[in-house]
Amino acid sequence: MTSREYKRIQDPTKEILNRYLSEYPVRLGHLAKELGVSIKVSSMSTGVSGQITREDGHYLIRVNRHEARERQRFTIAHELAHFLLHKSVIDSSPDGIKDNVLYRSGEPERIEYEANRLAADIVMPMALVQKVLQEEFDGVVTEATIESLAARFQVSKAAMEIRLSTFAEV
């Protein structure tokens, strides 16, 4: 149903997450705040999508202001996933983890796969996507369905298409 990364998250944090994953569009700003993470929309170099650092004991996500809003949402979720899964990696460098447009950071690929899977769980909670798909579209995936779901969850059409294609695997 959900990724193994999601299952790895400890209970008190999972309870916070679960509260946010029951409504769309998932309120990422509030979620980050409740997890103790700040978000700053920043001017970043072209080719950089986002970064998470620890500064003065506080976690901060920067997201590139020049990218589309849907893209920024996925980036925030990706950085939050690093926060939830890879704190020691963030803490080990003053630059934390900095992701390029392919969500590659120079860290091992495994770390990026994990962050992408958990990010998808956060912005497109499977149970909620399936519920809307069943209740409002009779479970039928068409171009129009994908577009409508993408708009509701405020993600790109491409991201929603990938998400829906994983139904067969879960």
Per the CB < 8 A criterion, the answer to whether 76 and 68 are in contact is no
CB of residue 82 to Zn ion, shortest distance in Å: 6
Minimum distance from CB of 96 to Zn ion (Å)? 10
For 152, the token pair is 């509701």
- Measured from the CB atom, the residue of 64 and 105 that comes closer to Zn ion is 105
53 binds Zn ion (CB under 5 A): no
- Helix H or strand E segment including 161: helix 157-165
With contacts defined by CB under 5 A, how many residues of the chain interact with Zn ion? 5
User: Which secondary structure element, helix H or strand E, spans residue 123, and what is its range?
Assistant: helix 109-123
Q: Integer distance in angstroms from the first to the last C-alpha of the chain?
A: 6
Nearer to Zn ion, 86 or 145 (CB): 86
The alpha helices in 21-156, defined as continuous H runs, are 28-35, 69-85, 87-91, 109-123, 126-137, 143-153
Whole-number minimum distance, CB 48 to Zn ion, in Å? 11
**Residues 86-115, interacting with Zn ion (CB under 5 A):** 99, 103, 105, 112, 115
Measured at CB, which residue is nearest to Zn ion? 99
Point out which residues bind Zn ion (CB under 5 A).
99, 103, 105, 112, 115
